[in-house]
Amino acid sequence: MPSSVRTFLATSLSVLLLAAAAVVLQTAPAAALAAQRFASPTGTTADSCGTPADACRIDKAINGALAGDEVVLAPGTYTAPVQLTNTEAITIRGASASNRPVINAATGNGLFLSSGGDIAVRDLEIVHTGSNVGLLVFGAGVVERVSVRSSGSSACAASYYALVRDSLCVSTGPGGAAIEASVGTAGAPSYTPRLRNVTAVATGVGGTGIDISMDGPAITYALDMRNVIARGSVDVDRQAVSGATVVVTAASSSYATVTQSGAGSVTPAGSGGNQTAAPQFVDTTRFRQKPTSPTVDAGTGAPDLGTTDLDGDPRTVGTAPDIGADELPDTTAPESRISKHPTKKTFSKRAKFRFSSPDPTATFRCKLDKKAVKPCTSPFTKKKLKIGKHVFRVWAVDTYGNVDATPAKYSWKVKRRD
């Protein structure tokens, strides 16, 4: 890791400790300052940030937020004119989890949050071309469903206290790290970050998936990672010098190469339910996994597991959660079954059908003769049928939108009475 980045992170730690002291000395509760602030890609510094209709520029919304505030980013693409920095316990989230805002940041750091209180970052994307780190979070709290791609030194900083889950960190620069943490301050406290269902990939030459470097006495850094993919020229690098201790505990994670020195340890690759086989991805942008990837259904129901993946899909679809930020969606269509129907030949102009599916969550679509397909429920009844032949079809649809390709079908004839 470049010395400039190490120096910056050490300075940032001092900022964090000062912020923590400020929180302790604060006499008014943070809730008294809480407010919503709104930003949009077309917002300006003249806008108030107070309502969606008066959403302001992104740097004004974030940099001016106070403890307890929530900053809501409307969908769209933002170009950060200056570094996005805040030292308060704030929340930043996209207004839509399914249409996340994208922040283009060419500054030294993309988004830098440092607080002695809880920080929350949710449902956004950062594209970072600056010299340092795409997303730095110093403090407690949660980072979830966040995608960071950086051509700088690092994509994401492994927060010293927070929980990071269902997120993607990609470093594309030479010698970069997908996730890193570096401290060089003596007498610092213990750090206990957690990673859950994170994909950390360094695609640049000499890149590192997870890079942890601590330098200083009385520093103990204990990273707890579960259901994590870490890949790079080196997947996990642990360095502890000058009396520091670094411990990386991994379970049901995917990494194969480890380098380390100094006090501490890394859970050996391939042990503790961890995988060494390379994950298989559909693409190198979103890093969605292939159905044949060994990471499918290979995770653990760890503490602090999220309910949805990076795309907002349910976290556990199969027999177990997948490893990484992506959960392979269910692609198996449910079956449709007709259990009650008219006789093949009948004089009745009334028809009643009962139908079901082995999937208890399925809904149904029905079609009678040449009429349009419509949502329906069982039982389905139709009166005043015409004399002649009729055809009824029903499709089961599961909660993932999979539709039965071979609907249940029944044909019968309404006879004329002599």
The percentage of the chain sitting over the pLDDT mark of 90, rounded to a whole number, equals 76
> pTM of this prediction?
0.78
**Collapsed DSSP state (helix, strand, coil) of residue 12:** helix
**Collapsed DSSP state (helix, strand, coil) of residue 16:** helix
The CB density around residue 28, as the number of other CB atoms within 10 Å, is: 8
Span of 36-40, 69-73, 395-399 with lowest mean pLDDT: 395-399
Rounded distance, CA 314 to CA 322, Å?
Answer: 11
Is the model more confident about 318 or about 170? 170
Rounded distance, CA 152 to CA 100, Å?
Answer: 22
Rounded distance, CA 323 to CA 107, Å?
Answer: 32
Span of 17-26, 272-281, 332-341 with lowest mean pLDDT: 17-26
Fold of 337-414: Immunoglobulin-like (2.60.40)
The pLDDT score that the predictor gives to residue 18 is 36
Q: Provide the pLDDT confidence category of residue 401 given band limits of 50, 70 and 90.
A: confident
pLDDT tens digits, 152-176: 999 998 777 889 999 999 999 999 9
> For 32, which DSSP code?
G
Which stretch of DSSP H or E encloses residue 245? strand 245-251
pLDDT tens digits, 103-131: 999 989 999 999 888 999 999 999 999 99
The pLDDT score that the predictor gives to residue 16 is 39
- Residues 254 and 275 sit within 8 Å (Cβ to Cβ): yes
Is the predicted pLDDT of residue 27 greater than 50, yes or no? no
Rounded distance, CA 51 to CA 37, Å?
Answer: 7
**In whole angstroms, how far apart are CA 235 and each of 1, 9, 199, 206, 393?**
15, 22, 11, 10, 53
Residue located via tokens 């209709």 = 53
Rounded distance, CA 385 to CA 144, Å?
Answer: 55
Q: Establish whether the linkage from the previous residue to 379 is cis, with ω within 30° of 0.
A: yes
Rounded distance, CA 128 to CA 144, Å?
Answer: 18
The CB density around residue 339, as the number of other CB atoms within 10 Å, is: 11
Count of positions (residues) in the chain? 418
Strands 190-191 and 154-157 turn out to be unpaired
The pLDDT score that the predictor gives to residue 158 is 78
Q: Which residues pair with 223 in a beta bridge?
A: 248
Query: DSSP states of 265-326 as a string?
Result: EEPPTT-TT-B-SPP-BS-SSS-PBPTT-TTTT-----TT--SB-TTS-BS--SSSPPSSS-
Rounded distance, CA 296 to CA 352, Å?
Answer: 43
Identify the CA nearest to 229 among candidates 376, 349, 327, 152.
Answer: 327
Residue located via tokens 């997948």 = 322
Which amino acid does the sequence have at 75?
Answer: P
Is the predicted pLDDT of residue 29 greater than 60, yes or no? no
The CB density around residue 83, as the number of other CB atoms within 10 Å, is: 18
> For 31, which DSSP code?
G
- Residues 310 and 167 sit within 8 Å (Cβ to Cβ): yes
Is the predicted pLDDT of residue 24 greater than 50, yes or no? no
**In whole angstroms, how far apart are CA 112 and each of 2, 53, 68, 85?**
18, 27, 17, 5
The pLDDT score that the predictor gives to residue 187 is 55
Is the model more confident about 418 or about 54? 54
- Residues 228 and 197 sit within 8 Å (Cβ to Cβ): yes
Which amino acid does the sequence have at 1?
Answer: M
Span of 81-90, 101-110, 148-157, 212-221 with lowest mean pLDDT: 212-221
Break the chain into its structural domains and give their ranges: 3-266, 337-414
The pLDDT score that the predictor gives to residue 188 is 59
Q: Provide the pLDDT confidence category of residue 295 given band limits of 50, 70 and 90.
A: very high
> For 19, which DSSP code?
H
The pLDDT score that the predictor gives to residue 418 is 73
pLDDT tens digits, 218-242: 889 999 999 999 999 999 999 999 9
Section 47-69 average pLDDT:
97
Section 260-274 average pLDDT:
96
Rounded distance, CA 268 to CA 289, Å?
Answer: 24
Fold of 3-266: Pectate Lyase C-like (2.160.20)
Which amino acid does the sequence have at 338?
Answer: I
What average pLDDT does the chain have?
Answer: 90
Which stretch of DSSP H or E encloses residue 224? strand 220-226
The pLDDT score that the predictor gives to residue 289 is 92
The CB density around residue 372, as the number of other CB atoms within 10 Å, is: 8
Which amino acid does the sequence have at 271?
Answer: S
Q: Give the CA dihedral 161, 137, 246, 170, nearest 10 degrees.
A: 130
Residue located via tokens 């008294």 = 32
Is the predicted pLDDT of residue 17 greater than 70, yes or no? no
Q: Provide the pLDDT confidence category of residue 8 given band limits of 50, 70 and 90.
A: very low
The pLDDT score that the predictor gives to residue 30 is 39
